[in-house]
Amino acid sequence: MAIRCSILGGSAQVVVAREGKLPLQLIRPPYNGNPNLAAQEGVFTLWTLTKPVHTEGGEWKFDITLKDETPLDQLLIKKLEEIKADEQPCLYRISLPRKASVEIYEYLKQIGYTAARLFPGYDGVTIAMKEDIAFEEMKS
């Protein structure tokens, strides 16, 4: 039986397969006290490891050398195949062509998504101004 976890305020869904079988956690941290996080409405993903701890000489040891930079979409596909899940992920990585960046930037700016909105404060305004200059140069 699949569990559906709603993310991004209920506007999107992610299938996480059978309960207890998928090591993926979606974490929505508290936004109060962090204006940047509140503006971005961030959701973090955590892929838990099965054996990050071992015993050595009667003491618990954490394996701090574990590091995996495999993209999340690849981890999901591999794990769902391993557990023979009925569901496939509804979480996608989207790559856009670089040549479309100016058009996308202009659209996002038009609907109010600029660095000034995502990073409240003077830094966000400064970043937005620099981005405007950079994208004007790209257009010409």
E strand residue ranges, 1-140: 2-7, 12-18, 24-27, 44-47, 53-56, 59-62
What is residue 8's predicted lDDT score, i.e. its pLDDT?
38
7 phi and psi angles, rounded to 5 deg: -130, 170
Q: How many CA atoms lie within 13 A of 63 on its CB side?
A: 11
Q: Residue 27 in contact with residue 46, Cβ under 8 Å?
A: yes
Q: In the 8-state DSSP scheme, what is residue 23?
A: -
Range scoring the smallest mean pLDDT among 1-5, 58-62, 93-97, 132-136 = 1-5
pLDDT for residue 40? 86
3-state DSSP call for residue 6? Answer: strand
Tokens describing residue 125? 């305004």
34-50, pLDDT tens digit by residue? 888 888 887 888 887 66
DSSP label of 8: G
Are 93 and 75 contacting, i.e. CB atoms less than 8 angstroms apart? no
16 pLDDT exceeds 60?
no
Give the pTM: 0.51
What per-residue confidence (pLDDT) applies to 136?
A: 92
Query: Across residues 4-32, what is the average pLDDT?
Result: 58
DSSP secondary structure code for residue 57 in this structure: T
Cross-strand partners of 140: none
* pLDDT computed for residue 17 by the predictor: 45
